[in-house]
Amino acid sequence: MNNLTVFLAIILGLAISGCGAQIEQPILEEPQVVVSLTATSITSTVTNNLVSASPSEMHIVTLTTAVTSVQSTTGNTSAVIPTATVLAPYLVTALPLPTQVPTQTPTQTPTQSPTQSPTQVPTRMIPMVTPTLWPTPDAEASGRVVRVPILMYHYVEPLPENADELRVGLTVQPGIFRQQLAFLHARGYRSVSLYDLLYHLVHGKTLPEKPLIFTFDDGYRGLYKHAFPHMQAFGFSGTVFLVTGLMDDGHEAYLTWEMAREMDLAGWKLEPHSKTHVQLSDRPFELVEYQVLGSMQTLQAHIGRQPRFFSYPSGRYDQQVIDYLTAVGFWGAVTTEYGLDHDLVNEFTWKRVRVPGRGSVSDLSKYLGEDISY
């Protein structure tokens, strides 16, 4: 065999050997991806304040998927592809379960309530206090003396049954009282006030030709029915000295504050006669202060002006009482002593004419110095 023949034989042999049995190789299928899913519910740490309708504070927060391995399904571990881990996070924003937008309630501004007085709530409007001008004496004030009778009454009403001597002496019955008014009016008397008297003494204020002052001590209720209307009929007005504590207590024998205010509006003067009608002379200062200042302030609160004149209970007084009256702003005071003439020096001891219960019109004319027989 030549060299060419040998070469071809070798080539052919190699080709034949390549067509022999082949080693079986596994056919790889498309791998499957195994995915593990975990849904986790946790409690939100955010308080559910906006949506009150939410049943609870449980919110679904996070959903995470993870590919843990990729491998062949043939079971041939010799051909295992190296494990690949794939993370695919899905973030879910935490929200309250109701998804509607919450509506906020507007904040209301609180309305302030008016401050109340520590005292009892009044059922009427309390009047504003009107100051009374202090009179300034002129050059002739110290020398003036004037005759102005100041009549002193207590009860003007029918005499009660079984009345004792004291009550009889203090009570002028309505019929007699009206006769007295008719007499005084016919004789030309005209009523003035203690203020008019003081202004005349201080700076010469003009008075009627025959001035007269009506005063009523204690403020008994009969005045409203039997004295007030009769005096209005004759054009007279008067001054009532009130026991303010007994009025505050609603004592049935005394004027009510409503009655007193009506008289005040009609032109009458209301002045204090202490709180409880106790004697003020030779008494402790604290008692004098309570009786004088207390009655003055009570009356001032009811009528809207500061009272300026005082009537001593039972006609009893001393220098301590006079000094205190002066200190708190009183201008004068009246006693139970008899007298007709007045001056500025004795303004805290002005005298009066007592009108007794058993007295007649003729007696009254004598007290006034009228030279007549009635």
Number of Cβ within a 10 Å radius of residue 247:
22
Q: Which residue has the tokens 């007499």?
A: 183
Is residue 277 scored above 70 in pLDDT? yes
Amino acid at 315: G
Task: Report how far residue 198's alpha carbon sits from residue 207's, in angstroms, rounded to the nearest whole number.
Answer: 11
What sign does the CA torsion over 191, 194, 204, 145 have?
positive
Is residue 91 scored above 90 in pLDDT? no
Work out the mean pLDDT of the chain and round it to a whole number. 78
Per-residue pLDDT at 223: 98
Per-residue pLDDT at 370: 85
Per-residue pLDDT at 364: 94
Q: Do 167 and 160 touch, CB atoms closer than 8 A?
A: yes
Instruction: For residue range 132-147, list pLDDT tens digits in order.
Output: 566 889 999 999 999 9
Length of the chain: 374
Is residue 183 scored above 90 in pLDDT? yes
The values of phi and psi at residue 86, to 5°, are -120, 125
Task: Report how far residue 103's alpha carbon sits from residue 88's, in angstroms, rounded to the nearest whole number.
Answer: 37
Helix (H) or strand (E) holding 90: strand 86-91
Label residue 94 by pLDDT band (50, 70, 90): very low
The verdict on residue 24 lying in a domain is no
What average pLDDT does range 262-283 have in this prediction?
98
Label residue 373 by pLDDT band (50, 70, 90): low
Per-residue pLDDT at 12: 58
Per-residue pLDDT at 21: 45
The verdict on residue 112 lying in a domain is no
Domain that includes residue 218, residue range: 147-367
Strand partners, 217: 241
Per-residue pLDDT at 146: 98
Strand partners, 145: 343
Task: Report how far residue 311's alpha carbon sits from residue 272's, in angstroms, rounded to the nearest whole number.
Answer: 7
Q: Do 100 and 68 touch, CB atoms closer than 8 A?
A: no
The verdict on residue 120 lying in a domain is no
As a whole-number percent, the residues of the chain with pLDDT over 90 amount to: 61
Considering its fold, how many domains does the chain have in total? 1
Label residue 15 by pLDDT band (50, 70, 90): low
Task: Report how far residue 295's alpha carbon sits from residue 289's, in angstroms, rounded to the nearest whole number.
Answer: 10
Q: Do 231 and 215 touch, CB atoms closer than 8 A?
A: no
The verdict on residue 73 lying in a domain is no
What average pLDDT does range 117-134 have in this prediction?
48
Q: Do 353 and 367 touch, CB atoms closer than 8 A?
A: yes
23, 194, 207, 209 from 364: Cα distances, Å = 165, 20, 22, 19
Task: Report how far residue 1's alpha carbon sits from residue 52's, in angstroms, rounded to the nearest whole number.
Answer: 107
Instruction: For residue range 291-350, list pLDDT tens digits in order.
Output: 999 999 999 999 999 999 999 999 999 999 999 999 999 999 999 999 999 999 999 999
Is residue 65 scored above 60 in pLDDT? no
Alpha helix (H) residue ranges in the chain: 3-18, 165-170, 174-186, 194-203, 222, 228-233, 244-248, 257-265, 285-303, 319-327, 361-367
Instruction: For residue range 346-367, list pLDDT tens digits in order.
Output: 999 999 999 999 888 999 999 9
What average pLDDT does range 123-127 have in this prediction?
44
Is residue 78 scored above 60 in pLDDT? no
Q: Do 238 and 216 touch, CB atoms closer than 8 A?
A: yes
What DSSP state is assigned to residue 96?
Answer: -
Is residue 121 scored above 70 in pLDDT? no
The CATH code of the domain that includes 165 is 3.20.20.370
The verdict on residue 353 lying in a domain is yes
Is residue 278 scored above 80 in pLDDT? yes
Label residue 122 by pLDDT band (50, 70, 90): very low
The verdict on residue 282 lying in a domain is yes
Per-residue pLDDT at 7: 61
The verdict on residue 16 lying in a domain is no
Is residue 31 scored above 70 in pLDDT? no
The verdict on residue 84 lying in a domain is no
Q: Which of 60-74, 94-108, 153-167, 340-354 has the lowest mean pLDDT?
A: 60-74
Per-residue pLDDT at 135: 82
